[in-house]
């Protein structure tokens, strides 16, 4: 298997795992929505379909950019920006200095900007 194909499959697997975690974490509880899908769609029912589609496309691009990063950078950016964990807490949990965490996050964001 060529390296490019293997890398793409690996990135896709990471994207799917991230999406599943996000879906579980952000589940909308409703009597009529088993997995939260129907309720989540209802939130945007007033938007035009083009705006909803554009938002979904941006979300997919963001997830792909995040998954293209090395595991450590991806985990740190996810923890800080998506989960709201402070840099100090990340540094303490990983047993490294805050400066290393800030550099890692900064470099990861720079790499993500290149994909956009």
Tell me: do 44 and 79 sit in the same domain. no
Are 20 and 49 members of one domain?
yes
Provide the pLDDT for residue 89.
Answer: 94
Q: Which residue segment(s) compose the domain that 44 sits in?
A: 1-68
Structure-token pair, residue 42: 């209802």
Q: Are residues 8 and 57 in the same domain?
A: yes
C-alpha gyration radius of the chain: 17
User: For 42-53, how does the pLDDT look when each residue is reduced to its tens digit (9 = 90+)?
Assistant: 444 556 888 888
Q: Are residues 91 and 105 in the same domain?
A: yes
Q: What is the pLDDT of residues 7-42, one digit of tens each?
A: 666 677 777 777 777 776 665 444 444 444 444 444
The structural domain count of the chain equals 2
Shared-domain flag, residues 76 and 60: no
pLDDT in tens, 36-95: 444 444 444 556 888 888 888 888 888 888 888 999 999 999 889 888 899 999 999 999
| Predicted pLDDT of residue 20 | 76
């Amino acid at each position: 298997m060529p390296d490019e194909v293997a890398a793409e499959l690996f990135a896709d697997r990471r994207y799917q795992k991230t999406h599943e975690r996000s879906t579980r974490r952000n589940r909308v509880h409703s009597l009529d929505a088993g997995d939260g899908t129907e309720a989540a769609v209802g939130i945007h029912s007033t938007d035009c379909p083009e705006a909803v589609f554009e938002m979904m496309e941006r979300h997919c691009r963001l997830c792909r950019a995040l998954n293209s990063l090395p595991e450590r950078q991806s985990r740190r950016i996810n923890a800080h920006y998506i989960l709201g964990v402070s840099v100090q807490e990340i540094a303490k949990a990983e047993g490294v200095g805050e400066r290393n965490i800030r550099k890692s996050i900064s470099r990861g964001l720079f790499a993500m900007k290149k994909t956009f």
